[in-house]
């Protein structure tokens, strides 16, 4: 059974390359949990939009999801590199081809089922959440001065202090809060049948004047994953 949910949770600016050199490696999922991850200095650093550590950002969303599951006394999800790649590729495609949907514009990757099957995940219960989230720490419904008005940056007061970008942790908390406030997303996150998880986030392009920078994010859950060693 496949489940889809999506969310608009607005975000910010410029385009970034593929996985940059990262201090976070896939093997580190074996040595960290959501508690130890939250104590890592790199997880508490602001996201530099011209030099994003995508593996670290994906990990932040993964661990915040597990923190929420633990809070609700649910089994923690196991990290799946296959699901992460599927999720990250879908987020990149949403940026590259300028769409926001579970249905991709890319041939052979139209549906979540297509994307999972192509990665070797077949006959599994699965779900997908997507989101469109600001990269800076904006307060909802509060007026903002944009770069064209303000000397190249966003602020709440004219020529005031710049609005900071999220840290890796605060971004993950922001997106999970939005998902948990949405019944469909919440149901996926709290489904005890899902044992595996992979998350992928990608910075969108600036498409309008004074558009805040934002990320498109995908997370994929599955009940089984034969690509993960048992």
Reported as a pLDDT band with limits 50, 70 and 90, residue 26 is very high
Query: Global pTM?
Result: 0.89
Domains and CATH numbers, the chain: 2-222 (3.40.33.10)
CB 40 within 8 A of CB 184: no
Q: What is the pLDDT of residue 6?
A: 36
CB 111 within 8 A of CB 4: no
pLDDT in tens, 102-130: 999 999 999 999 999 999 999 899 999 99
* Choice among 17-26, 42-51, 160-169 with the minimum mean pLDDT: 17-26
Q: What is the mean pLDDT of the segment spanning 11-23?
A: 42
């Amino acid at each position: 059974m496949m489940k889809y949910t999506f969310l608009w949770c607005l975000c910010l600016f410029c385009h970034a390359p593929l996985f940059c050199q990262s201090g976070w490696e896939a093997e580190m999922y074996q040595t960290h949990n959501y508690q130890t991850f939250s104590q890592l200095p790199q997880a508490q650093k602001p996201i530099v939009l011209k030099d994003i550590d995508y593996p670290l950002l994906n990990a932040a969303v993964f661990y915040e999801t597990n923190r929420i599951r633990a809070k609700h006394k649910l089994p923690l999800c196991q990290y799946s590199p296959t699901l992460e790649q599927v999720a990250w590729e879908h987020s990149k495609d949403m940026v590259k081809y300028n769409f926001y949907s579970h249905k991709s514009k890319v041939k052979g990757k139209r549906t979540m089922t297509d994307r999972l099957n192509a990665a070797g995940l077949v006959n599994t219960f699965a779900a997908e959440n997507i989101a469109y989230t600001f990269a800076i720490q904006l307060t909802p419904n509060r007026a903002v001065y944009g770069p064209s008005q303000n000397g190249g940056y966003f602020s709440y007061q004219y020529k005031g202090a710049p609005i900071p970008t999220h840290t890796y942790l605060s971004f993950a908390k922001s997106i999970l809060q939005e998902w948990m406030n949405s019944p469909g997303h919440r149901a996926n996150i709290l489904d005890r049948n899902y044992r595996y998880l992979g998350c992928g986030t990608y910075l969108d392009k600036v498409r309008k004047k004074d558009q805040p920078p934002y990320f498109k994010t995908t997370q994929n859950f599955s009940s089984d994953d034969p690509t993960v060693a048992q």
